[in-house]
Amino acid sequence: MTPPVTTPTRLLIAALGGEGGGVLAGWITEAAVASGLVVSRTSIPGVAQRTGATTYYIEMIAAVTGKPRPVLALNPAPGQVDILLASELLEATRLAGTGMLSADRTTLIANTARVFTMDEKMAMADGRRDSDAMIKILETSARHAILADFNAIAVTAKAPLSAIMLGALAAAEVLPLSADALRAAVRHEGKSVAANLSGFEAGFAAISSGATSSIAAVAPSPEKKVVAVAEFPARTSVVAAEGVARLTDYQNAAYAGTYLDHLRRFAAMPDVDDALLSELARHLAVRMSVEDVIRVAQLKLRAARLARVTAEAKARPGDIVDITEFMKPGTDEILGLFPPLLARPLMRLATKLGLADAAMPLTVTTTRLSGFLRLKFLAALRGWRPRTHKFHEEQIWLRHWLGLVEATAKRDPEAARELIATAKIVRGYGATYKRGMTSFERIASTLVEPALTAAHPPPDLADQILQARIAAEKDPEGAALTATLSAIALKPSRILQAAQ
């Protein structure tokens, strides 16, 4: 006779509010009750709102006749959790960070898909946490880590994530409950039974087939047919080909030729390697194809968009899909279409009238004739573009940037690399674009230009530019950039140079 079990099975569920963690915990509880176990489940759902991190905790143990009611704990004890079921990667890692997982004890079943936190989403640069690092932590924290992209399985199975997770839990065979007991709980609960059961089976199959080690990666974008530009070294040749394709589409072959001319000039310089040149090729192509009103209209008219939108919006065959664009060109963007000789006085007038920051809100339905024709007219201005004020201004900026890069590359290729990357802060539209432009000018005039004229340029110029670029993307108000630039100005190395 086997001795009765004296410790309960302890299961912790990490979830985001509103995504079905409660339903999942409910199924497990129901299955345990139906299987004759004594079960306790608690949660801290708090407010009814969505997306906050939350947990559910379940303990279950076989009832023993003649014994009093088991005293089950309401709080998970770190390191003594048998199973952690996590619906999101960062939340699983968060619990690992609180010491919840034990390498001797815990079976971890975690979704590797991400739901980004506000901090990650609102960062101006790339604020996303490194998924690979988190996966590595999880793999070493648990006794057995079952990691898979359950979102991908859910999409294929057209079932809720909670059902997939339940199937995965059943397949892991760590509960004192049979898979059939869990299936029965889904039926008993009675809501969307068919979808939930098919989700359960999908999750079950994915885990029991052992497909868990292969974490579904982001599908690579379809290979485009770009012909490498053979005259450049390996990396640059690929990027330059992308650049040429984009700029030909943006303007014409001659314009793409100008792009190649710029690259050739740099390629001929002694200290410019493939890494530096390919980065220049990348940023230059982006900056030369600035999204002016004409470009936006051109992109919005691509017929491929409708098919894509229809698929993304899960429209059914036979549904009619309309796309209504929200645009709000500002005074400078509209006047930017005029030739410089006309645009400049008009801009002065607009400033005088207090209309410099004005903008015209437009909604344009591109899937209907009238909206289509309006954008078609704008896109047709492509040939006119080189005569516009906006194009003219962009050329001035490009010359300025390329000149600085060239001069810097001669003295300090590392700094040139950073200066090239700094071009990315000039992006976006409206106020965002102006802010990026201002930040770039501040970095150029405070750090780069003095270094180029100084007898002894600072040895850490590359690092200074890097720090400034990161700061420029810290906050939209530019406070971090101001702080960083003044901190650099006060650095001893600078004072020393001044003394010299």
Partner 1 sequence: MEVSFRKEIANLKLGAGSTFHGEGILAVTKALLQSGVGYVGGYQGAPVSHLLDVLLQSEDILAELGVHLQTCTNEAAAAALLAASINYPVRGAVTWKSIVGTNVAADALSNLASAGVIGGALIVVGEDYGEGASVIQERTHAFALKSSVWLLDPRPDLPTIVRMVEKGFELSEASNTPVIVELRIRACHVYGSFEAKDNVAAKVSTNARLADPAVFDYAKLSHPPVTFNQEIDKVTRRRPAAEQFILDHQLNEFVGPADGDVGIIVQGGLFNVLNDRLTAAGLSDIYGNSAVSTLVLNVTHPLSSRQITEFCAGKKAVLVVEEGAPDFLEQAIGQILRKADLQTKLHGKDCLPMAGEYTPLVMADGLAKFLKLQTVQPTVSSPLEGAAKGGGATSARLDSAANVLTNWLTEHQSRVTKVAGALQTPLPARPPTFCTGCPERPVFSAMKILKQETGAVHVAADIGCHAFGTFAPFSQGNSILGYGMSLASAAAVSSVQQKRPVSIMGDGGFWHNGLLSGVASAAFNKDDGVLIVMNNGYSSATGTQDLPSSRPNDEGRGKGIEIERSLRALGLEWIRRVRTYGVSEVKQTLDAAIRSKEKGLKVIIADGECQLARQRRVRPALAAAVAKGQRIVRQRFWIDPDICTGDRSCIRLSGCPSLTVKPSEDPLRSDPIAHVNNDCVGCGLCGEVAHAAQLCPSFARIDIIQNPGPWDRFKRTISAGLMNLSGAREAAL
Interactions with partner 1, residue window 32-51 (CB under 8 A)? 33, 39-51
Task: Determine which helix (DSSP H) or strand (DSSP E) holds 338, and give its type and residue range.
Answer: none
| Residue 363 near partner 1 by CB under 8 A | yes
CB of 398 to partner 1, least distance (A): 16
* DSSP string across 83-130: EEEESSHHHHHHHHHTT---TTT-EEEEE------HHHHH-SS-----
Nearer to partner 1 by C-beta: 321 or 496? Answer: 321
- For the segment 459-498, give every residue that binds partner 1 (CB under 8 A): 476
Structure tokens at 283: 């940023």
* Binder of partner 1 out of 123, 227, 341, 483 (CB under 8 A): 123
Q: Which of these segments, 91-99, 163-171, 344-352, 402-410, binds partner 1 (CB under 8 A)?
A: 91-99
> How does DSSP classify residue 16?
E
- For the segment 138-197, give every residue that binds partner 1 (CB under 8 A): 141
Dist CA 176 CA 9 (whole Å): 8
Nearest to 147 by CA among 131, 160, 162, 125: 131
* Binder of partner 1 out of 424, 442, 474, 494 (CB under 8 A): 424
| Residue 351 near partner 1 by CB under 8 A | no
The residue type found at 200 is F
Nearest to 445 by CA among 453, 433, 456: 453
Dist CA 301 CA 296 (whole Å): 9
Structure tokens at 66: 């003649």
384 touches 342 (CB < 8 A): no
**Residues 6+ positions from 428 with CB-CB distance below 8 Å:** 436
CB of 75 to partner 1, least distance (A): 5
* Binder of partner 1 out of 35, 54, 464, 484 (CB under 8 A): 54
* Binder of partner 1 out of 105, 246, 387, 411 (CB under 8 A): 246
* Binder of partner 1 out of 122, 349, 355, 496 (CB under 8 A): 122
Nearer to partner 1 by C-beta: 79 or 257? Answer: 79
Structure tokens at 477: 């108000």
Q: Which of these segments, 11-19, 192-200, 256-264, 458-466, binds partner 1 (CB under 8 A)?
A: 11-19
Give the per-residue contact string, 265-284, with partner 1 (x = CB under 8 A; - = no): -----------------x--
| Residue 62 near partner 1 by CB under 8 A | no
Q: Which of these segments, 256-264, 339-347, 425-433, 441-449, binds partner 1 (CB under 8 A)?
A: 425-433
* Binder of partner 1 out of 227, 254, 311, 315 (CB under 8 A): 315
- For the segment 375-414, give every residue that binds partner 1 (CB under 8 A): 376, 379
Using a CB cutoff of 8 Å and minimum separation of 24, what contacts does 300-304 make?
300/325, 300/366, 300/375, 301/366, 301/372, 301/375, 301/376, 301/379
| Residue 428 near partner 1 by CB under 8 A | yes
Dist CA 245 CA 97 (whole Å): 47
Q: Which of these segments, 71-79, 158-166, 264-272, 411-419, binds partner 1 (CB under 8 A)?
A: 71-79
235 SS3 class: helix
Give Cα 1 distance to the centre of its chain: 57
* DSSP string across 46-66: -SS-SSSEEEEEEEEEE--TT
436 touches 427 (CB < 8 A): yes
* Binder of partner 1 out of 119, 173, 180, 231 (CB under 8 A): 119
16 touches 161 (CB < 8 A): no
- For the segment 16-35, give every residue that binds partner 1 (CB under 8 A): 16-18, 29, 33
* Binder of partner 1 out of 36, 97, 339, 345 (CB under 8 A): 97
> How does DSSP classify residue 425?
G
Dist CA 55 CA 87 (whole Å): 11
DSSP β-bridge partners for residue 365: 324
* Binder of partner 1 out of 3, 68, 270, 354 (CB under 8 A): 68
* Binder of partner 1 out of 296, 343, 472, 481 (CB under 8 A): 296
Number of residues that bind partner 1 (CB under 8 A): 126
CB of 151 to partner 1, least distance (A): 10
CB of 161 to partner 1, least distance (A): 12
| Residue 372 near partner 1 by CB under 8 A | yes
CB of 331 to partner 1, least distance (A): 10
* Binder of partner 1 out of 254, 275, 311, 313 (CB under 8 A): 313
Nearest to 429 by CA among 240, 291, 275: 291
Nearer to partner 1 by C-beta: 29 or 388? Answer: 29
Backbone angles phi, psi at 400, to 5 degrees: -60, -50
320 touches 363 (CB < 8 A): no
Nearer to partner 1 by C-beta: 207 or 435? Answer: 435
Q: Which of these segments, 69-77, 342-350, 405-413, 479-487, binds partner 1 (CB under 8 A)?
A: 69-77
Q: Which of these segments, 134-142, 255-263, 394-402, 444-452, binds partner 1 (CB under 8 A)?
A: 134-142
